[in-house]
């Protein structure tokens, strides 16, 4: 079988998780979304999505948390296939298999990652040859974080996070992620943000010049000093046990600790790969989290593997 024939029988796409190194949240808009200055960094925890021809749209998932992944049309991978097929006047007759390594409902854009990966995989499987702009447009329709999952690296997301400007990153950053038991609903965390900030003057979200400079120079100590997440008080309010996880990572020698996106995964920036291993071991031993994972950034966006 030629390579072209193989490409038509199955396409596998690898896609990274993300951490928000800055998540500045504005006031709720009339449409219920919040304007953001959202600095995304892709990290080396990956899902893989394989698309194969099938009689009808089906989704399967494997991995430690597979039981918590919806397999119906609420799965962003399924929605991506449906939206792409609609745009091209065809049926989404595809089987999507997700190998899940990104924490589920953890604030690391795992669902968004699967949406971006499925979109790229179906586009290749169906030989559609969509442009980057066409794919990004569908990603934005799927969800605020989906465009970033497609492009990876580092980017500033404005609007509801979907309008991306690529950012320069001058070196590798090392991370530990503490995975909590159970997830947190993103709309619930934004709702709690609204409740906690009710009546307060909420400034326009803007990217921090110090944070962008730290990314550019690849300086982990400067990045640690600049990390912020406006959703953190809301995530901690809904899940008070996160305070103990953040404290355990800091006590273990992390340069900085913060909630990843809407949580409940917590992110620890460390100085190097060796420190990542020791902080992960200490976090696991602390009993404050289900498991701890090491990763580095930046990582590439959604990529066709085969």
Where do contacts with ligand C5P occur on this chain (CB under 6 A)?
32-34, 36, 143-145, 160-161, 186-187, 190
DSSP 8-state code for residue 263: S
- List active site positions: 18, 145
Compare residues 100 and 160 and give the one whose CB is closer to ligand C5P.
160
Query: Of 10, 302, 19, 20, whose CA–CA distance to 135 is shortest?
Result: 302
Which residues belong to the annotated binding site for ATP?
103-113
Residue 243 CB partners (closer than 8 Å, separation 6+): 236
Name the minimum Å distance from CB 194 to ligand C5P.
8
Which residues belong to the annotated binding site?
103-113
Compare residues 34 and 174 and give the one whose CB is closer to ligand C5P.
34
The region, left, alpha or beta by phi > 0 then psi within -120 to 50, assigned to residue 161 is: left
CB 236 within 8 A of CB 243: yes
Name the minimum Å distance from CB 145 to ligand C5P.
6
Cβ-based neighbour number of residue 204 at 10 Å: 9
CB 191 within 8 A of CB 180: no
Name the minimum Å distance from CB 263 to ligand C5P.
13
Compare residues 92 and 143 and give the one whose CB is closer to ligand C5P.
143
């Amino acid at each position: 079988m030629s390579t072209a024939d193989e490409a038509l029988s199955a396409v596998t796409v690898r896609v990274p998780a993300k951490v928000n190194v800055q998540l500045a949240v504005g006031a709720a808009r009339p449409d219920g979304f919040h304007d953001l200055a959202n600095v995304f960094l892709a990290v080396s925890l990956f899902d893989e999505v394989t698309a194969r021809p099938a009689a009808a749209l089906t989704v399967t998932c494997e991995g430690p948390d597979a039981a918590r992944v919806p397999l119906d049309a609420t799965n962003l991978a399924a929605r991506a296939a449906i939206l792409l097929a609609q745009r091209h006047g065809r049926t989404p007759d595809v089987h999507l298999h997700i190998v899940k390594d990104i924490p589920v409902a953890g604030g690391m854009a795992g669902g968004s990652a699967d949406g971006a990966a499925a979109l790229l995989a179906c586009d290749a499987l169906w030989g559609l040859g969509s442009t980057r702009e066409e794919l990004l447009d569908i990603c934005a329709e799927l969800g605020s974080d989906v465009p970033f999952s497609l492009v990876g690296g580092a980017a500033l997301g404005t609007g509801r996070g979907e309008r991306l400007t690529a950012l320069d990153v001058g070196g590798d950053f090392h991370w530990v992620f503490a995975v909590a038991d159970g997830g947190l609903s993103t709309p619930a965390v934004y709702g709690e943000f609204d409740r906690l900030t009710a009546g307060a003057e909420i400034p326009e979200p803007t990217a921090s010049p110090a944070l962008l400079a730290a990314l550019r120079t690849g300086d982990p100590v400067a990045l640690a000093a600049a990390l912020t997440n406006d959703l953190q008080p809301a995530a901690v309010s809904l899940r008070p046990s996160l305070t103990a996880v953040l404290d355990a990572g800091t006590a273990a020698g992390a340069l900085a600790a913060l909630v990843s996106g809407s949580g409940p995964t917590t992110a620890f920036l460390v100085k190097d790969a060796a420190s990542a291993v020791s902080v992960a071991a200490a976090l696991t031993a602390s009993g404050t989290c289900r498991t701890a994972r090491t990763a580095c950034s930046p990582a590439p966006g959604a990529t066709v593997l085969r």
